[in-house]
């Protein structure tokens, strides 16, 4: 039985109002000071590095004379990379270039000049909901100031809010359905075979059947396996099947967060259905295959696909499947089933498949 389920990918935009504290290098004639500002991040580009615009403002006091102060504005364009989740935390790293402007309340040309700066930082997001998270950062900046280099360390915290259109992953679903026949005397379809023995309980009246109630020499789903031997009687036309009429390869609808191999709770029921089939038909083995889309380095995608496949195997074992029935492999970004140039295509390529083998 085929169907489709949607899974939300990244939001297109993120905005983060920030507060923080700036620690100035010792040779700068400014005291440490509070910072206010915000960051705007765009996730819609086909890249693992996401552009971010950062704007920060503060009013800083001079060490000497202490009665004077200056307005400090920093505007920067950074590239942000988010790592795999560690528990519920999403680590991140960033780097970029910006410009620092200081008001001339005090002889700037001899002390703190306006200048281009480079920055680099690390941080993390701690999600509260699907689109709201606490964002923490430590950002180091370095600029050329007259005849010296000046540096600052900014410690920042803010509320990260994601919004905007999201890509929807639509993944084909193949569900193995085992027909359970109630052991009750009777012959509901009037084919001469009792319900307790009838493997084809809806045979049309007048059709000649065999000892288990299936049409003799019939192959209703045209898969090359007679109805009397077909455990999966409704296989889609053209699907490669084994001697029992079941698909050799099926697509399992297993959902993951972006850059994560943690299985979502909503996928557990589907894994349970597949586990039930493997425990019922213990003469079958399954190879769980993980895939990714083409974004990112091939080596990274290979490891991510292996982690996803291994996680599904662990979950099947936890649900009662004999470990000897299971193997796993990661195929990275190979064998795409759709165009990696589109969001919808990449969504289909981020998938888990299972190859079924009769022992």
Q: What is the pLDDT of residues 184-234, one digit of tens each?
A: 468 888 888 888 888 888 888 777 787 888 777 667 777 777 776 777 777
Would you say residue 126 lies in a domain?
Answer: yes
In CATH, what number is assigned to the domain containing residue 303? 3.30.1330.60
What is the reported pLDDT for 354? 85
Measured distance CA(168)–CA(264) in Å, rounded: 16
Same domain, 251 and 163: no
Same domain, 119 and 254: no
- Structurally, the chain folds into a number of domains equal to 2
In CATH, what number is assigned to the domain containing residue 72? 2.40.160.20
Same domain, 160 and 18: yes
Would you say residue 89 lies in a domain?
Answer: yes
Same domain, 146 and 251: no
Would you say residue 161 lies in a domain?
Answer: yes
Domain containing 256 equals 246-358
* Averages of pLDDT over each 10 residues, the chain, 359 residues: 38 94 78 92 90 93 72 93 91 95 60 84 93 95 79 93 67 39 64 83 81 75 72 69 71 73 83 88 89 89 91 92 93 90 84 83
Q: What is the pLDDT of residues 236-245, one digit of tens each?
A: 666 667 777 7
Do the beta carbons of residue 257 and residue 82 sit within 8 Å? no
Domain stops at, among 140, 168, 196 = 168
Would you say residue 142 lies in a domain?
Answer: yes
Q: Nearest 10 degrees: CA dihedral of 279, 310, 249, 337? A: 150
Would you say residue 232 lies in a domain?
Answer: no
Domain stops at, among 135, 168, 201 = 168
Q: Nearest 10 degrees: CA dihedral of 263, 268, 272, 278? A: -20
- The DSSP bridge pattern shows strands 249-252 and 284-290 to be unpaired
What is the reported pLDDT for 176? 38
What is the reported pLDDT for 238? 64
**Which helix (H) or strand (E) segment is 153 a member of?**
strand 148-174
């Amino acid at each position: 039985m085929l169907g489709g389920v949607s899974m939300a990918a990244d939001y297109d935009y993120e905005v983060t109002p920030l507060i923080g504290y700036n620690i100035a290098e010792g040779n700068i004639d400014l005291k440490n000071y509070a910072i206010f500002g915000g960051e705007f991040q765009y996730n819609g580009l086909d890249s693992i590095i996401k552009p971010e615009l950062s704007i920060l403002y503060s009013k800083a006091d001079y060490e000497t004379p202490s009665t004077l102060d200056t307005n400090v504005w920093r505007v920067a364009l950074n590239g942000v990379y988010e790592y795999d989740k560690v528990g519920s935390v999403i680590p991140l790293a960033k780097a970029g270039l910006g410009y620092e402007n200081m008001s001339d309340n005090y002889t700037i040309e001899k002390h703190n000049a306006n200048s281009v700066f480079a920055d680099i930082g690390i941080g993390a997001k701690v999600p509260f909901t699907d689109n709201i998270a606490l964002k923490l950062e430590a950002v180091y900046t370095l600029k050329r100031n007259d005849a010296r280099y000046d540096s600052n360390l900014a410690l920042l915290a803010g509320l990260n809010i994601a919004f905007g259109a999201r890509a929807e992953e639509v993944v084909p679903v193949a569900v193995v359905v085992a027909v359970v026949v109630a052991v009750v005397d009777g012959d509901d379809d009037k084919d001469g075979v009792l319900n307790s023995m009838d493997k084809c309980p809806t045979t049309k009246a007048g059709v000649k059947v065999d000892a288990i109630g299936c049409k003799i020499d019939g192959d209703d789903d045209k898969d090359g396996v007679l109805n009397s031997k077909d455990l999966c009687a409704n296989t889609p036309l053209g699907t490669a099947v084994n001697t029992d009429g079941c698909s050799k390869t099926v697509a399992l609808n297993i959902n993951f967060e972006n850059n994560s191999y943690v299985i979502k709770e909503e996928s557990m029921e589907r894994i349970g259905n597949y586990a039930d089939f493997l425990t019922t038909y213990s003469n079958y083995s399954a190879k769980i295959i993980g895939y990714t889309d083409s974004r990112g380095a091939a080596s990274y995608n290979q490891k991510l696909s292996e982690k996803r496949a291994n996680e599904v195997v662990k979950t099947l074992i936890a649900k009662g499947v004999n470990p000897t029935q299971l193997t796993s492999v990661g195929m990275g970004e190979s064998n795409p089933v759709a165009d990696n140039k589109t969001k919808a295509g990449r969504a289909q390529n981020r998938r888990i498949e299972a190859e079924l083998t009769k022992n």
